Amino acid sequence: MHDWLPSLLVWVVAVSAYDDPAQLPEIIPISQQQLIDTLCHGENCPAVAYYDPGSQTIFHDQRLDFDEDLNARSFLVHELVHYLQDKQGLIDISSMSCEQRMLLEREAYLVQGKFLHQHGLPARQITLALSILEQVCDD
């Protein structure tokens, strides 16, 4: 395990105001192709990580270097927010509306943006993602 991971979870808990779950989720590196197959049904997409509530596991692109790259670490921050949301009982994929899912996604992006801002990194992708989220449920 990364020695900075427990303190990263503490930071996410503090910023998100969720209860401390007292344990970390499992974090598993997988290939980009596995991410594409799982999240994008085999179609090429820019997926880098996701949280699976069934197993309480964060899966991430094995090429991400969390130790050296704070931008990469921001994706972990995003998924840790989903982990905390799940631990609070807010994630129930089978009964959630699109709007409810997008509210949780929005919160994860906002916390990720705070992490990037705190480290002096650009957050353009967060702004773009938030603008896209506003249109997801319009279909």
Positive or negative: CA dihedral 66, 35, 15, 23: negative
pTM metric for this prediction: 0.94
Q: Which domains does the chain have, with CATH numbers?
A: 5-136 (3.30.2010)
Dist CA 124 CA 62 (whole Å): 23
If one counts every other C-beta atom within 10 angstroms of the C-beta of residue 29, the result is 14
14-44 per-position pLDDT tens digit: 999 899 998 999 999 999 999 999 999 888 8
pLDDT band at 139 (very low <50, low <70, confident <90, very high): low
- Tell me how far apart the terminal alpha carbons of the chain are, to the nearest angstrom: 41
Q: Estimate to the nearest angstrom the gap between the alpha carbon of 75 and the chain centroid.
A: 6
**Count of CB atoms within 10 A of residue 77's CB?**
22
Neighbours of 88 (CB within 10 A): 12
- Among residues 99, 101, 103, the alpha carbon closest in space to that of 138 is found at 99
Residue 45 has pLDDT above 80, yes or no: yes
Is the pLDDT score of 108 beyond 80? yes
Cα–Cα distance for residue pair 63/32, rounded to 1 Å: 8
Range 73-89 average pLDDT: 97
Among the listed ranges 40-44, 50-54, 100-104, which one has the minimum average pLDDT value? 40-44
The 26-30 sheet, strands edge to edge: 26-30, 57-61, 49-52
Rounded mean pLDDT, 83-94: 94
